[in-house]
Amino acid sequence: MTLSVLSVASEAFPLVKTGGLADVVGALPDALAPHGVATTTMIPGYPAIGKAIKGAKVVRRWPRLLGAEARLLRARIGDHPLLVLDAPALFARPGGLYGDEDDWRRFAALSRAAADIAGDYDVLHAHDWQAAMAPAYLRYGSGAARRPASVMTVHNIAFQGHFDAAVFAELDLPAAAYAIDGVEYYGGVGFLKAGLEAADAITTVSPTYAAEIREGRFGMGLEGLIESRRGSVHGIVNGIDPAIWNPDRDAALPSRYSARALGRRKANKRAIEKTFGLEAGDGPLFTVISRLTWQKGMDVLVTCLEELVAGGGRLALLGSGDAHLEAAFLAAAARHPGRIAVRIGYDEPLSHLLQGGADAILIPSRFEPCGLTQLYGLAYGCVPIVARTGGLADTVIDANQAALAAGVATGFQHGETNYHTLAHAIARAIAAYARPDLWCTLQRNGMRADFSWSESGRRYADLYHSLTGTA
């Protein structure tokens, strides 16, 4: 039996992307197809989307969808169906995808539209706070002809969509919905909280993160709710798309290579040095490809850069984020010209080059639901140095004595992010790099691991089948 799933999110690669959410949403249809699941993806009609789907068919209209005229357009994303909520008053705006004062209305409209059509599908799968009101609209009544099963995926519980109580009156929900087991959250309206209450099942993007968010340190105020629903919470690690992230076929790399031809990576390392203005050399080249934020541990990393350089390392950083952290990394680059180089912003092809030529990637996150960057690093032989948290702990095997003896180590883990733990991990990596045979073993182990979507797709399909009674 083929199951039909409506996957609702605020972004999807390759049409629109600000982070890993888009990669996951874009990859799910292909991951699920081999397991008898047909996925339709639904996203907002941002300006870039309209340009990409010219000639799309109108399949539904709303004269007033939370106050805005809207229509639903049918197109395709790759080989799979795509639905675009075309509501110019809400989404046809310049600038970034998020951060507008009426984000509550924009994404409530996306959720309401999804709930209205969800009866045409077996499962409604909502991603993050921007789509989290969809299960709530199903719970409290919508235009859907029947109620499908619902899944709420938390990609990062730190982003919750918490708004003033005054918006409730305009959400087109019954008064009963404003309750502690509904959409009310600390005296306001909580979009993610509402979805977590209403969905039939909750997934997070790694088993460790599923356990962590039941604790106050990681649950961000929702730990009690998660604990109360622990029997419905599932941790499923994200995968990566080998059609996009494959060093043997990556057009962004000057020199393509495989686990059996690691020597070809050196040309990519030279390309990074030239692109970033770094001194040429055979010493360890570290990279960072990240948002520059507290969550990502970037404030701690910047304090470790003197030791990194003193140990013979160099750093090529690509990222943007908090202004004070951008300034701190730029200042470090000014202190160490040729040893540290910083590019503020994001560049997809450049991120591939960094994975394909740097020796190690630094990911010292204080919490990390899953993380994709370390998976790309493993696939490209760019050895990850990660904090022991969330999906980082689930996907990187520390090069401790036992793992090295067993021949399974793939990188370096450190404890709770602070100067001492991170500096020690960097020193361990520099020492291991000085042993070429050991370093090549770490690279090859990572490159041979299977982080494709195959197993993750099967686990999502099994969950859908269990919820619909079709297992």
At 144, the pLDDT band (50, 70, 90 cuts) reads: low
40 contacts: CB under 8 Å, gap ≥ 6: 4, 5, 6, 7, 80, 81, 82, 83, 121
Q: What is the pLDDT of residue 113?
A: 97
Measured in whole angstroms, the distance separating CA 79 from the mean position of its chain's CA atoms is: 22
Q: What is the pLDDT of residue 297?
A: 98
Report whether pLDDT(242) > 90: no
Instruction: Identify the sign of the CA torsion 178, 184, 186, 191.
Output: negative
- 31, burial (CB in 10 Å: exposed 0-12, middle 13-18, buried 19+): buried
As a whole number of angstroms, the distance between CA 178 and CA 413 comes to 44
Report whether pLDDT(143) > 70: no
Lowest mean pLDDT among 43-57, 61-75, 387-401, 427-441: 43-57
Q: What number is the average pLDDT over the span 341-356?
A: 96
Is this structure's pTM higher than 0.75? yes
Nearest to 91 by CA among 23, 170, 10: 10
Q: What is the pLDDT of residue 262?
A: 98
β-strand pairing of 184-185 with 37-44: unpaired
Supply 459's token pair.
């686990």
β-strand pairing of 57-65 with 68-77: antiparallel
Instruction: Please give the single-letter amino acid code of residue 196.
Output: L
Q: What is the pLDDT of residue 408?
A: 97
For 146, 278, 364, 460, the CA distances from 83, given in Å and listed in that order, are 19, 45, 37, 21
Segment 263-288, tens digit of pLDDT: 999 999 999 999 999 999 999 999 99
Segment 17-33, tens digit of pLDDT: 988 899 999 999 999 99
Phi, psi of 202 (to 5 degrees): -120, 135
At 78, the pLDDT band (50, 70, 90 cuts) reads: confident
Q: What is the pLDDT of residue 11?
A: 97
Identify the residue whose tokens are 């020690």: 424
Q: What is the pLDDT of residue 241?
A: 86
Average pLDDT, the chain: 96
3-state DSSP assignment of residue 12? strand
Segment 209-226, tens digit of pLDDT: 999 999 999 999 999 999
Q: What is the pLDDT of residue 50?
A: 81
At 51, the pLDDT band (50, 70, 90 cuts) reads: confident
CA angle 68, 72, 73 (to 5 degrees): 135
First to last CA, the chain: 9
Share of the chain above pLDDT 90, in %: 93
Q: What number is the average pLDDT over the span 92-101?
A: 92
Report whether pLDDT(363) > 80: yes
Q: What is the pLDDT of residue 175?
A: 96
3-state DSSP assignment of residue 316? strand
Q: What is the pLDDT of residue 145?
A: 65
As a whole number of angstroms, the distance between CA 26 and CA 43 comes to 11
At 300, the pLDDT band (50, 70, 90 cuts) reads: very high
As a whole number of angstroms, the distance between CA 322 and CA 298 comes to 10
CB contact at 8 A, 226 and 214? yes
Q: What is the pLDDT of residue 170?
A: 97
At 146, the pLDDT band (50, 70, 90 cuts) reads: confident
